[in-house]
Amino acid sequence: MTLILVQIAVFLGLGFYLIRWRSGVRRRNKQSWDSLLARLRPDWSARELSEQFLWREGLNATPADAWQRMEGPKGLWVMYQNAQVMLEMADFAARNSEAVDRLLLETLRSDAMQIRVCVLMALAQYAFSKASEGVRINAFRAATMYTGMAARMTQLLQENAPMMVPDFVAAM
């Protein structure tokens, strides 16, 4: 009897997973550049850290200064969410264009994952020790990677969808 219940539970769990996966694929296939740009959060901008962040990597701030300018965890969370959207933008470009630089796409994917891990580490540290030096260093690393990813995303858009660059710049 127990074995039958376990089998039913596994079957239902697998069915639930497949339905969610299928709906995610449908949602992804319905995306457009405009819908992706609309999902970028303008609550906080890396302009606070570097005026040229969309055109080249690097920050014009120290870790302590960057923490203050990014408004602490608020800026970290915006970076986390925007990194996911930029990852989806890179995937959209890969699906819809043959001429996309594959190395650039892989770099964008890697950046997005590194930013998200670094932000989660910084937020976890912040939860336990508030704004300690380690938190500020992790936030600075995430912000540095974020500016690099934004510059590479701008490059990708310039090469494959130049009409979207002004909207991307405005959203960031």
Residue pLDDT, tens place only, 14-40: 888 888 888 877 877 778 888 888 888
2 and 66 housed in the same domain:
no
84 and 130 housed in the same domain:
yes
For residue 168 the two structure tokens come to 């991307």
Question: For all residues of the chain together, what is the average pLDDT?
Answer: 82
By three-state DSSP, how is residue 44 classified? Answer: coil
105 and 123 housed in the same domain:
yes
125 and 50 housed in the same domain:
yes
6 and 88 housed in the same domain:
no
User: In terms of C-beta distances under 8 Å and separation of at least 24 residues, what long-range contacts does 135-139 make, across chains too?
Assistant: 135/67, 136/63, 136/64, 136/66, 136/67, 137/63, 139/63, 139/66, 139/67, 139/70, 139/72, 139/75, 139/76
Which of 53-67, 95-109, 112-126, 146-160 is most confident? 112-126
Domain residues for the domain of 111 are 32-171
User: Distance between CA atoms of 60 and 171, rounded to whole angstroms?
Assistant: 21
pLDDT at residue number 58: 62
50 and 19 housed in the same domain:
no
Q: What is the DSSP letter of 169?
A: H
pLDDT at residue number 116: 92
15 and 55 housed in the same domain:
no
154 and 80 housed in the same domain:
yes
Q: What is the DSSP letter of 130?
A: S
Confidence of residue 3 (pLDDT cuts 50, 70, 90): confident
15 and 37 housed in the same domain:
no
9 and 47 housed in the same domain:
no
40 and 124 housed in the same domain:
yes
Q: Quote the number of domains for the chain.
A: 2
68 and 91 housed in the same domain:
yes
pLDDT at residue number 100: 80
